Chain A
Amino acid sequence: MDRLNRNVAIIGTGQTDHASRRDDVNLPGLVREAALRCAQDAGISLGEVDAFVLGSAPEVFEGVNQPEQWLVEALGGQFKPMMRLHTGGTVGASTGICACFHIASGLYDKVMAVSYEKLSDGVAQYGLSLCYDPLWGRDFAAGAPALAALQAREYMARFPYITEEHFARVAVKDRANAMLNKYAHVKKELTLEEVMSSAYVSTPLKMHDCCPTTDGAAAILFSSEEVARKKSDNPAWVHAVSTCAEGAYYPGMDIVRPRALLKATRELYDRAGISEPLKDLDMAELYCAFSPQEYIWLEAVGLAEEGRAVDLIESGKTAINGEFPINPSGGVLSTNPIGASALIRQVECALQVTGRAGEHQVPGVKKALAHSWGGWLQFYSLMIVGSEPPAG
């Protein structure tokens, strides 16, 4: 089966105000803010939602196990189907994809995907360190920056003409885009000089090559075509989804060209009938928590040849006014509530194809790609969102 069983539409999206610390709300309050904005955007009440899919990263981030227990009432989930997922950094995307499956199955017509993280309640690097194997990995629990640094180092070793300055330009671009996005967390433009002179966190990554930690949540209301036609005059449509996992530290693992992502990409493009992604798609929201990842993911999802993302980036094509904008929202480099970050990629694609992205709208977007990674660079989730229902 390579197609969803029936068409899935996006008829509402919502995001919280994102900040380093949202002290004005507790976790249910934060999640509810996104859910309410999403329902309002769709023109329905939370009570009309058929089922909820929740997603968030490890519980240790907030220090509360099974947080879904106390999110039921905040979402209007009483006596309704509700489940919570976790797939590392991709969890937000998995949440959206699982909600799609709920609709495609024919069992439900209005399903809300909600994902969140209140990272300031705990210490993110403690939580990330606890993702490593306690028997042989935790002493080297590098958190997220060092993992991405190992990946960037391999990329630079493979393509020696790539310098740290190449990476820095991605940070400059994303932070400039964030200035246009009313929901972006870090709104401070960066110069190349500022990125290059910021302190090393974990070589070759400097402070400004790295994402912030954010309190935030996001939600998407997925619906059947029938409901979309009734409730929305401007829905977005899910054209295809794919996910793939691989192990950690196995022989021949390639973290610069992850096989799981290559496979997910092939499946996605087959399902969506995409043969030339750079032509057939109009933009992408790639999960770049660290600036070198724009190079790495562009190549892995087939938007650039191996080692040649530099051409696309240096020629300005990935800029917000370029031919193929990457992360016009400012991306994860500007806003990173971990559990929600991958769902925000889908939210942004839906906003772009419906022409509702506001100041960071890219003109004429018909099809957009949402990408995310998680775990030890081992979980991948992809979605193509279109302005029209998928053909045939």
Chain B
Amino acid sequence: MKRVVEARTLKAKIECPYRWSTGRAIGSFLTELRDGRRIVGLRCDRCGKTIVPPQDYCIYCADELDEWVEVSDQGEVTTFTEVKMDFPNSPLEPPFAYIVVKLDGADTGLAHLARNPEGIVVGSRVRAVWKELREGSIRDIDYFELVK
């Protein structure tokens, strides 16, 4: 058979609604963000690690976790990248930065945003800037900013 002479493109769009159950750990984490402007994690006795955002199980040893710990809304940037180009589903208008921040009291890195990336380096101290209207989402923390 010869190569197709006239090939066509069919255009379509798929929209699928979803309802994600949060589960116990993330549900509590999001509720604390909304109601208390508090960041909480779960601590594993066996491993001595505090996991933020929390999981129902220890990400090291897979034990069930139920010891809640409040951690600071300030921490240290462990890595970052400044996004300069727009792309689908971008959470903010570029330029902004994705950061991984190790909050004081937590043992895990939390992925979030820095709206004004200028001056951020690995090791920078940053703090959460909270939204006034909070709805139980990780974006109740609007973004992080440098601690001057």
How far is it, in angstroms, between the C-alpha of A203 and the C-alpha of B85 when the chains are bound? 10
List residues 112-158 of chain A with CB under 8 A from any CB of chain B: 123, 125-126, 129, 134-137, 139-143, 146, 149-154, 157
- Asked if residues A202 and B112 are in contact (CB atoms below 8 Å), the reply is no
Q: Specify which chain A residues have a CB less than 8 angstroms from the CB of B14 in the assembled complex.
A: 63
- Asked if residues B82 and A251 are in contact (CB atoms below 8 Å), the reply is no
The 6 closest A-B pairs by CB, nearest first: A149-B81, A251-B107, A157-B122, A200-B84, A203-B82, A140-B111
B49, B108, B123: most-surrounded residue (chain A CB, <10 A): B108
List residues 95-148 of chain B with CB under 8 A from any CB of chain A: 98, 100, 107-109, 111-113, 121-123, 137-139
- Asked if residues B81 and A146 are in contact (CB atoms below 8 Å), the reply is yes
- Asked if residues A135 and B30 are in contact (CB atoms below 8 Å), the reply is yes
- Asked if residues B59 and A247 are in contact (CB atoms below 8 Å), the reply is yes
- Asked if residues A150 and B30 are in contact (CB atoms below 8 Å), the reply is no
Given contacts A202-B83, A251-B59, 14 further A-B contacts (CB under 8 A): A123-B88, A126-B88, A135-B20, A136-B138, A139-B91, A140-B91, A140-B112, A143-B87, A149-B98, A151-B79, A249-B59, A249-B109, A249-B111, A250-B60
Is A23 among interface residues, defined by CB-CB distance under 8 A? Answer: yes
| Residue in B20, B47, B81, B100 whose beta carbon sits within 8 Å of that of A203 in the complex | B81
How distant is B73 from chain A, measured CB to nearest CB, in Å? 15
| Residue in A63, A125, A137, A203 whose beta carbon sits within 8 Å of that of B111 in the complex | A137
Is A276 among interface residues, defined by CB-CB distance under 8 A? Answer: no
Minimal Cβ-Cβ distance residue in A for B51: A251
How distant is A338 from chain B, measured CB to nearest CB, in Å? 16
Q: Specify which chain A residues have a CB less than 8 angstroms from the CB of B26 in the assembled complex.
A: 135-136
How distant is B39 from chain A, measured CB to nearest CB, in Å? 11
- Asked if residues A125 and B87 are in contact (CB atoms below 8 Å), the reply is yes
- Asked if residues A146 and B98 are in contact (CB atoms below 8 Å), the reply is yes
Contact with B along A203-229 (1 / 0, CB 8 A): 111000000000000000000000000
Interface of B is mostly: loop
- Asked if residues B83 and A146 are in contact (CB atoms below 8 Å), the reply is yes
Binding site for A on B (CB under 8 A): 3-4, 7-9, 12, 14, 18, 20, 22-23, 26, 29-30, 47, 49, 51, 53, 59-60, 78-85, 87-89, 91, 98, 100, 107-109, 111-113, 121-123, 137-139
B53, B78, B79, B122: most-surrounded residue (chain A CB, <10 A): B79
How distant is B105 from chain A, measured CB to nearest CB, in Å? 13
Using A126-B89, A143-B87, A201-B84 as known contacts, say yes or no to A150 and B59 having CB atoms under 8 A apart. Answer: no
How distant is A61 from chain B, measured CB to nearest CB, in Å? 12
How far is it, in angstroms, between the C-alpha of A43 and the C-alpha of B123 when the chains are bound? 58
Q: Specify which chain A residues have a CB less than 8 angstroms from the CB of B87 in the assembled complex.
A: 125, 143
| Residue contacts A-B, CB under 8 angstroms, 12 given | A23-B8, A24-B3, A24-B4, A125-B87, A125-B88, A140-B111, A146-B98, A150-B80, A150-B100, A154-B122, A157-B122, A202-B83
How far is it, in angstroms, between the C-alpha of A153 and the C-alpha of B12 when the chains are bound? 38
Is A274 among interface residues, defined by CB-CB distance under 8 A? Answer: no
A134, A249, A252: most-surrounded residue (chain B CB, <10 A): A249
Is A199 among interface residues, defined by CB-CB distance under 8 A? Answer: yes
How far is it, in angstroms, between the C-alpha of A247 and the C-alpha of B22 when the chains are bound? 19
Q: Specify which chain B residues have a CB less than 8 angstroms from the CB of A200 in the assembled complex.
A: 82, 84-85
- Asked if residues A129 and B89 are in contact (CB atoms below 8 Å), the reply is yes
- Asked if residues B108 and A250 are in contact (CB atoms below 8 Å), the reply is yes
Q: Specify which chain B residues have a CB less than 8 angstroms from the CB of A123 in the assembled complex.
A: 88
How far is it, in angstroms, between the C-alpha of A247 and the C-alpha of B85 when the chains are bound? 29
Minimal Cβ-Cβ distance residue in B for A256: B79
Minimal Cβ-Cβ distance residue in B for A150: B79
How far is it, in angstroms, between the C-alpha of A154 and the C-alpha of B78 when the chains are bound? 8
How far is it, in angstroms, between the C-alpha of A203 and the C-alpha of B7 when the chains are bound? 39
- Asked if residues B7 and A24 are in contact (CB atoms below 8 Å), the reply is yes
Minimal Cβ-Cβ distance residue in A for B141: A139
How distant is A249 from chain B, measured CB to nearest CB, in Å? 6
A134, A137, A149: most-surrounded residue (chain B CB, <10 A): A149
Q: Specify which chain B residues have a CB less than 8 angstroms from the CB of A129 in the assembled complex.
A: 88-89
Minimal Cβ-Cβ distance residue in A for B54: A136
Q: Specify which chain A residues have a CB less than 8 angstroms from the CB of B122 in the assembled complex.
A: 153-154, 157
